[in-house]
Amino acid sequence: MPYLELSLRSTEAEQPRYERALEDVGALSVTLLDADADTPNERAILEPGVGETPIWKSLVLTALFDADTDALALLAALEAFDPGLDWASAGFRKVEDEDWERAWLDQFQPMRFGDRTWIVPWNHELPAEADVPGAAVVRLDPGLAFGSGTHPTTALCLRWLDALAGDGLLRDARMLDFGCGSGILALAALKLGAAAAVGVDNDPQAVLATHDNAQRNAVDAHLAVYLPQDEPVSTYPVVVANILATALDALAEVLAARVAPGGRIALSGILQGQEPELLQRYAAWFDDLQVAVDGDWVRIDGVRR
């Protein structure tokens, strides 16, 4: 069935107020997008941090309502709920119901990261370059969770895992994917030779999606996924945290404690300009800290003392 879509711009500070008001008046869904991104892939909210929602300084909020909702009455209700917000800038349009996940998958093409790592949609034919001995192929169905490999933050981590495998550092290792989203990084590590992986995410939908993707890739016996409060405390020779700079700062001691002595860590979800503070923060526990850049995004990796 069709829907009425409301869209408006918001600042980071005002976003919670807008979202509360939209939900109070009966929004069926509210989606947050980066208003300043240049491309649709960059505009997607990817890899949410554990315990956080990724929010940019400027956002576009879109909310769906039943098709027969009266737009003027809706605006009046929103104005009454929170008159301090700018509801006059809201735009409306009718949108037809469609299989949004199917439309997205139709545009999602196989992608290569590093020498041997491939992310391939579950319904896509395997490329000839990926159908060779030694290729690490992840068949992905992101479903409603975040993380497809299209965003630079994920791509940076996939290339790092591929390089670790090339150096023999993933073989038979245990790894932690902190903020796992769709499970893409844990799945890639297992395909690259890790013996076991643990995923942690604050979103129950991400936990389900990671389980489903692990089964699809026949590695579910080697992957455990937890909500943060259920995560068993352990140390790992390989840890990846693709979340946000603010979360990486707040969780620095937690993440450092998860890395075994001599183990490797990769930190992603960092915008250029945010890395100096994090480099200083993580230098308390890690040596050989390195920075890799992809567009506006940065990955930091190092070795646990």
In CATH, the architecture of 147-304 is 3-Layer(aba) Sandwich (3.40)
Kindly list the strands in the beta sheet with 3-11, ordered across the sheet, starting from the edge strand earlier in the chain.
29-34, 58-66, 3-11, 91-95
User: What dihedral do alpha carbons 182, 209, 49, 152 form, nearest 10°?
Assistant: 20
- The burial class, CB within 10 Å (0-12 / 13-18 / 19+), for 89 is exposed
pLDDT in tens, the chain (305 residues): 678 889 999 988 898 899 889 988 998 878 777 777 554 444 444 344 444 455 567 888 888 888 899 999 999 999 999 999 999 999 999 887 655 445 545 556 788 999 999 998 877 789 999 999 999 999 986 554 455 566 788 899 999 999 999 999 999 999 999 999 889 999 999 999 999 999 999 888 788 889 989 999 999 999 999 999 999 999 999 999 998 888 999 999 999 999 999 999 999 989 889 999 999 999 999 999 999 999 888 999 999 99
Q: Nearest-CA neighbor of 118 among 144, 143, 147, 155?
A: 155
Cα torsion 201, 103, 40, 61: sign: negative
Task: State the Cα–Cα distance between residues 46 and 150, nearest whole angstrom.
Answer: 9
Residue ranges, CATH 3.40.50.150, the chain: 147-304
Distances (CA, A) of 119 to 72, 129, 146: 45, 12, 14
Q: What is the pLDDT at residue 242?
A: 93
Binding residues: 154, 179, 201, 242
269: which 2 tokens?
């979800």
Chain length of the chain: 305
The confidence score (pLDDT) of residue 12 equals 81
Q: What pLDDT does residue 195 have?
A: 98
Binding site feature residues for S-adenosyl-L-methionine: 154, 179, 201, 242
pTM over 0.85: no
**DSSP reduced 3-state for 206:** helix
Q: Pinpoint the residues of the chain covered by CATH 3.30.70.
A: 3-97
**CATH architecture of the domain with range 3-97:** 2-Layer Sandwich (3.30)
The DSSP code for 243 is S
